[in-house]
Structure 1
Amino acid sequence: MALFDGRATAVEVMDGIRLDSKVAIVTGANGGIGFETVRALAIKGAHVILACRNLKSAEAAKASILREEPDVQLTVLRLDLSSLASVREFVEEFKSLKLPLHILINNAGLASSEFMLTVDNLEVTFATNHVGHFLLTNLLLDLMISTALESNSEGRIVIVASRQHESARGINFDSLHKKSWLQSLPLVKRQSSHLPRVVLGVRSIQARQRFTREGARTSSQGTGSECNSELFASRSDSHKHCSQLLQARRVYV
C-alpha cells in the first residue's frame, strides 16, 4: 500500500479504487474534511449520504459536487448530532430508503465558545462530538454487519478526531455539563470532548475481532489540529490537503 502525506488529495489516495454499489454516510459533509471525503467517495462510485444539520448548506455542497461530477449519487439527510431524537430520526429516515450501508465516517465536530445545553440536558460540544456519534454508530451497526455479510465484503467505520485530545487531562463528569467548566478554559472543553471520541475509536478497534468476524472493520483517525472550514470556501489546494489527513489510510471495501 502506498504511503501518503498532507500534500496528497483524497482522490489521489483512492487512485485505482472503485466503490460502485457501495453506500457511505459522512457526517458534517457540507464543508472541510467532510466535503472532500464525500467528493472523493462519490467520484469513485459510492452513493454518499450527506448527514448534516444545516440542510441549506448541505444542498449547496451537493450542488457544488454535481456541477463538477454530474453523474455521482448524493443524498442529503438532516442530522443534528446534538439531539438524540434527531439521531434516531436520521437512522429511521435512512433505513426507509432501503439501502445497504458499507461505510460510516463519523466526521462532524463542534467547538462552541458559549455554554449551551442540548434538549437532552447535555453540554452541546460533548453531545455533538461524542454522544451523538456514539448513538449513531450503535443504531447503524446491525445494518452494517448485515450488509457486510450479504455483500461478502467488510464494511468500514471511521471515527475522525483531533490530536487535541492528547492535551486533555481527563474528563470531570461531575462538572461536564456545568457552565463553570466552560468559563474556566474553552480549549479544555474541546480537548475533553475529543478524548471520549478517540476512546470510542479505541474501543471499536478492541471490538474489531467481533466486527471482522461479522463483517465490519473499525478505524480511528486523527486530523491533527482541525482546520477552519472558512478556509475551504473555494476548494483551494489547502482544502484538499487538509482533507487528506482523513485519508491516513485508504478507506475502501
Structure 2
Amino acid sequence: MNISNVDTEDEEQTLKMPGSTDSPLRILFQKIMQYFWYYVISGTSIALPSMIKCLYVKAPVIAIEKLEKRSDQVAVMTGGPRGIGFDIVKKLFQLDYTVILGVRTIAVSQEGIDKIRAFGIPSGRVKFLNLDLISLNSVQKFAKEVLASEEGSRIDLLLNNAGFVNRNYEMTPDNIESTFQVNYLSHFLLTNLLLPRIKETVAKKGGDPCHIVNTSSHAQRAGKINFNELEISYESLLKTVSSCSRKNTGN
C-alpha cells in the first residue's frame, strides 16, 4: 500500500474526487469509512474464507526437484523478491532461470535475493533493472534495456507480478489513475513491447511455447470499478499505448 504523510490541506485535496464539493467533516468521515472497509470488512471477507479453506483443503505442492532445469532460459519479472514475488523468484532460481527483475529500488531487492540464497539455493542468476510502473516512460525505458541486454536476447517467461493498492485517489504523471495504471495499463504496455522478442524465442525453440503470467492476490476480491468515475476514455487508453509502442519500435 502507498501511505503518505500529508498535511490536512493536501490530504483533503487527495481524497476529493473531481467535481467534489465535500466538506472537511464529510471527507474525514469518508476516510474513516475507507479504513474500516479496507481493514475490517474487506480484510475479514478475504482472510476468513482462506483460513477455512486452508484447514480442510491441502494446496498443491510443486515438486521443483522433479522438474527439468531451465538453465538456458530467461524470465522477465516486474517487482522485487518480496511478498508473492519472493516465492516466485525462489522457484525460478531453483529451476536455474536467468531472471531479469524490474524494480524500483535495487538495494531493497538485493536483500530479498540474499534471503533466498540463505535457503541454500546457489542456482539461478539475476539482473536488476530500474522500473517504476507509475510512469509509462519508465516502462518504455525498461523494455528497451531488456531488449538491448545480453540476457534479454531471449524471453521464455514474462511475469507481470508487481502491483499495489492505493486507498487514495491519485493521478500519475501520465494523467491516469494510479492503481489502474500500475496494476494493469503499465503491464499491458510492457507485454506489447516485449511480445516480439517472446515470439522470436518461440521460433528459436522450434515452436515450444513461451509463457506470459499475470499474478494477483486475494485482495482483488475487495476491488470494484466505479464506471461513473473513469478519468479517461477507452479510446484515449488505446492512443496512449499505441503511441508508446510506436516510439519504442521507431515506427
> C-alpha deviations, 1:195-249, integer Å up to 9, x for none?
xxxxxxxxxxxxxxxxxxxxxxxxxxxxxxxxxxxxxxxxxxxxxxxxxxxxxxx
CA contact (8 A) 1:20 1:46 kept: yes
Partner of 1:20: 71
Partner of 2:132: 80
Q: Name the CA distance, whole Å, in 2 between partners of 1:35 and 1:169.
A: 27
Partner of 1:29: 80
The one-letter amino acid of 2:102's match is A
Flag structure 1 segments of 5+ consecutive residues without an equivalent.
Answer: 179-253
Decide which of 137, 157, 168 is 1:114's aligned counterpart.
168
CA contact (8 A) 2:93 2:123 kept: no
Decide which of 154, 157, 160 is 2:209's aligned counterpart.
154
Give 1:8 shift: 4.8
The one-letter amino acid of 1:22's match is Q
- Of stretches 82-91 and 16-25 in structure 1, the one that deviates more from structure 2 is 16-25
Q: Name the CA distance, whole Å, in 2 between partners of 1:130 and 1:170.
A: 13
Structure of higher CA gyration radius: 2
CA contact (8 A) 2:161 2:214 kept: yes
Partner of 1:63: 114
- Of stretches 67-76 and 136-145 in structure 1, the one that deviates more from structure 2 is 67-76
Q: Name the CA distance, whole Å, in 2 between partners of 1:81 and 1:149.
A: 29
The one-letter amino acid of 1:161's match is S
Q: How many residues align?
A: 172
Give 1:70 shift: 3.1
Q: Name the CA distance, whole Å, in 2 between partners of 1:92 and 1:108.
A: 19
Decide which of 194, 199, 221 is 1:140's aligned counterpart.
194
1:46 counterpart = 2:100: no
TM-score under structure 2 length normalisation: 0.61
- Percent identity (aligned): 30
Trace 1:198-209 onto structure 2 (pairs within 5 A).
Answer: none
In structure 2, do the counterparts of structure 1 residues 38 and 115 end up closer, same or farther at CA, with 3 Å as the change threshold? same
